[in-house]
Amino acid sequence: EVQLQASGGGLVQAGGSLTLSCATAGFTFSHYAIGWFRQAPGKDREGVSCIPDGHGTPYYADFVKGRATISRDHAKNTVYLRLNNMKPEDTAVYYCVADQNYCLSRNYWGQGTQVTVSS
């Protein structure tokens, strides 16, 4: 059974940094793309970042480009998203996703982790 567990959210001041974790189980980790979506109150979910299977070039949405880094820890079957210079508009529930189609199919979703950025 495919499992995705997002964690690492919390309260951070504007300008600060946060690292989110997506722990996975139930599938061959290296064969899947893993990504992050977020949803702010009253808004649709939007893509944040995606790292392909293997060591392909990651995707970053324009609103985090230059201040985000997505990475894999193969020993832990875990993907991380590091966000720097956080802004109040980053406040959202962040979800991790998995598929075998570069985060375009998003077959599997984890539960969300709340991120709140104070000004």
Q: Are 23 and 108 in contact (CB under 8 A)?
A: no
Q: What is the mean pLDDT of the segment spanning 30-59?
A: 94
**Mean pLDDT, the chain, whole residue set:** 96
For 47-73, the pLDDT digits (tens) are 999 999 876 799 999 999 999 999 999
CA atoms in the 13 A half-sphere facing the CB of 34 = 30
**pLDDT tens digits for 9-28?**
999 999 999 999 999 999 99
Residue 65, beta-bridge partner list: none
* pLDDT of the residue at 107: 96
